[in-house]
Structure 1
Amino acid sequence: MSVKITGMDSLQKKLKKMADGARELDGQHQVAIPDLLTESFLAKHTKFTNAQELFDNSGFKIDSPEDFKAIPDDEWDQYISSVSSFESWNEMLQSATAEYAKRKMGLSS
């Protein structure tokens, strides 16, 4: 009796993509907000279709990184809590980062 095993090539490709993704994620990186807050992420957790809409709707003047840094954390967290399924900006970023890592490793689309 013999058993034919199929799909090993596909599995090897998936494992290679995961390993490549893990190597790419190793260490510290700066990831652009639009790469974290993707359309699909925002559609799932907010009413917005992109990060720019999220920022534009905030009522804060955000024309530069310095403008964003000047927003009081508690006020920004209140805004994020009111427009998303998250309690804070940090919580939103942690979730978005986890999804980003899954995509990089080929674990989600």
Structure 2
Amino acid sequence: MYKIKGFDEFSKELKKLSKNAKRLDGENNVSFAELFTREFMVKYTDFSSFEELLEAGNFIVNSQEDFKAIPDDVFDEHIKSVTKFSSWREMLEKASAEWVEKKLFE
């Protein structure tokens, strides 16, 4: 029997990936701060934080209810004008995908 070079390392990485995937299974509560990191905001928007993006649109958000009260069409227009995304949904989906990828490979 012979050993394939690198197989043990590959196997360890697969086990780690599987463990991380199990942790992500189901519903996850993720804060905007975790989703919209400084790196994400600088890469895709004109701002370094999600709070700055809200302030630039004159949105006053002190609670989840405040955020939910922003009309979708108004927020989509703001997102389209100050980010690389065409809608809030697109921005949220990209941030979520990047968060999942980061968690899988940490």
TM-score range, shorter chain: 0.7 to 0.9
Provide the rounded CA distance (Å) in 2 between the counterparts of 1:77 and 1:60. Answer: 13
- Cα deviation for residue 39 of structure 1 reads 1.5
- Cα deviation for residue 18 of structure 1 reads 1.1
Q: Aligned letter for 2:102?
A: R
- Cα deviation for residue 90 of structure 1 reads 0.7
Aligned to 1:60: 59
Higher RCO structure (Cα 8 Å, ≥6 apart): 1
Equivalent residues in 2 for 1:70-85 (5 A)?
Answer: 70-85=69-84
The CA deviation string for residues 30-89 of structure 1, in whole angstroms up to 9 with x for no partner, is: 211111111111111112112222222221111111111111110001001111111111
Structure 1, unaligned runs of 5 or more: none
Equivalent residues in 2 for 1:22-37 (5 A)?
Answer: 22-37=21-36
**Normalised TM-score (structure 2):** 0.87
The CA deviation string for residues 12-44 of structure 1, in whole angstroms up to 9 with x for no partner, is: 332122112210111112211111111111111
**Normalised TM-score (structure 1):** 0.85
State how many pairs are aligned.
106
Taking a change above 3 Å as real, the CA distance of residues 52 and 17 of structure 1, as seen in their structure-2 partners, is farther
Q: Aligned letter for 2:46?
A: K
Equivalent residues in 2 for 1:6-45 (5 A)?
Answer: 6-45=5-44
Structure 2, unaligned runs of 5 or more: none
3-state SS of the aligned residue for 2:58?
Answer: coil
Q: Aligned letter for 2:29?
A: Q
Provide the rounded CA distance (Å) in 2 between the counterparts of 1:4 and 1:13. Answer: 15
Q: Identity percentage over the alignment?
A: 44
Aligned to 1:46: 45
